[in-house]
A = this chain, B = another copy of it.
């Protein structure tokens, strides 16, 4: 594998890794219904605000979320809604889990992501 190829996968992994946490998946799912401030998310999730803030920072750092500050509050929203498609595919993995190789369809190239 060339250095360029390696860099490509490393960069992709960085983004997918940002999604690879239950709390961050919850946040993405919740933000699919509209922007939320940190305090709102903190109320929904069962962890301290600094922890939520850090998770939000990870997602923002990966380019998945964007923020807007209004007054005291910081509102987060999805910048790349296609990540929601991940959920569907993940459910497909789960449905197939352990069963005799019923596979999902190959990706359609014309599918708008």
Partner-B contacts on A (CB < 8 A): 1, 5-6, 9-13, 15-17, 19-26, 29, 44-46, 62-64, 66, 78-94, 96-98, 101, 103-108, 111-113
Contacts and interface: CB of A to CB of B under 8 A. Distances in A.
A45 to B, nearest CB: 6
Copy count, this protein chain: 2
B80 A89 contact: yes
Q: Which secondary structure characterizes the binding site on chain A?
A: helix
Nearest to A10: B22
A6 B20 contact: no
Given A9-B25, A16-B20, A108-B111, 9 more contacts: A1-B46, A10-B22, A15-B93, A66-B101, A78-B103, A81-B103, A85-B89, A111-B111, A111-B112
